[in-house]
Structure 1
Amino acid sequence: MASHQDYLAGNRTIFDLWKALLITITKNGWGQNARVKSILVGSIGSTRMGQLEWSPDLFPQLTAKLHPIAQETMAQEPQEAPRFQIFLHGIDGKASTYDITRNTSADEDPDNLRAKMSCGHAIGPESLTAYCRSIVDAGKFQFFCPYVGAAITDRCKMEWHYCDIRKLGLLSDEEERYFETKISQNFLLLAEGVQQCPKCQSYCERRDKDRRATICVICTRRDQKEYMFCWFCLHPMVSYSQCTNAECLGIEPRLAILRNAPLKRIGEVPNVPSRRACPKCGLLVEHDRACKHMKCRCDHEFCFICLKPRLAGLWQCGAFNTACQIAPVQTTIPSL
Structure 2
Amino acid sequence: MEKRYDPKDSSLIFVNRKDEITGDDTPDVLRVEMSCGHAVDPNSLTAWCRSLIDQGHFIFHCPAAKEGTEEKCNKQWHYVEVRRHALLTEEEQQYFESKIATIAAAQYCEYKWCPGCGSCVERKDLTNLCVFCIICMKEKGKSYQFCWQCMKEWKGSAPRSDRCDNVGCTNIQLEALQNCSTKTLPFSKIQQCPIIRACPTCGVLIEHKAMCKFVICTRCHVEFCFACLQTKNICSKSSSYNQVCAVAPRQRRVPVWSRVSDSKPSNSLNSTNTDESSWCTIS
More helix, by proportion:
1
Structure in which a larger fraction of residues adopt strand: 1
Does TM-score exceed 0.5, indicating one fold? no
When the two structures are superposed, what TM-score results if normalisation uses the length of structure 2?
0.42
TM score, norm. by length of structure 1: 0.36
Larger RCO (alpha carbons 8 Å, 6+ apart): 2
